[in-house]
C-alpha cells in the first residue's frame, strides 16, 4: 500500500506573498484549508487585484463560565406563578 505524499506549501502555485488566483483557490480549496489550519496565510486575487485573505481563525481564549451573569440579572418571583386565564387564552389563540 502506497501512501500519498503530504502536500506542502512549495507544491502550491503561489507567489512569494502566498497569493493564489480565484480559480486556483476554488479548485484546491481543501488543500488550502489544510495549509491554513497548519498556520499558512493566502491572499486570493482576481487577476492582479487582491480580493480576500484566507487566514486561520484564532482559538477562543476563554470558555464560558457558568453563572457569569449571576449578580446582574434578577428573576421576579411572579415568574413562577401561574398565568392568568386571559393571558393563557392569548397564547392558545396563536
**pLDDT tens-digit profile of 70-88?**
889 888 988 899 988 998 8
Which pLDDT score is estimated for 16?
53
| C-alpha radius of gyration, the chain, whole number | 27
Give me 33's grid cell.
Answer: 484549508
Does domain 9-54 sit in CATH 3.30.70? no
pTM of this prediction exceeds 0.75: no
Sorted by where each begins, the domain ranges of the chain are: 9-54
**pLDDT tens-digit profile of 49-71?**
999 999 999 877 677 888 888 88
CA distances from 43 to 27, 51, 89 (A): 15, 7, 58
CA distances from 53 to 10, 30, 33, 93 (A): 19, 15, 12, 51
Percent of the chain with pLDDT over 90: 43
Amino acid at each position: 500500500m502506497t501512501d500519498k505524499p503530504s502536500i506542502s506549501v512549495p507544491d502550491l502555485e503561489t507567489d512569494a506573498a502566498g497569493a493564489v488566483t480565484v480559480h486556483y483557490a476554488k479548485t484546491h480549496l481543501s488543500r488550502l484549508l489544510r495549509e491554513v489550519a497548519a498556520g499558512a496565510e493566502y491572499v486570493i486575487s482576481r487577476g492582479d487585484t487582491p480580493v480576500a485573505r484566507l487566514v486561520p481563525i484564532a482559538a477562543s481564549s476563554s470558555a464560558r463560565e457558568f453563572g457569569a451573569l449571576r449578580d446582574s440579572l434578577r428573576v421576579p418571583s411572579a415568574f413562577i406563578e401561574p398565568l392568568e386565564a386571559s393571558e393563557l387564552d392569548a397564547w392558545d389563540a396563536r
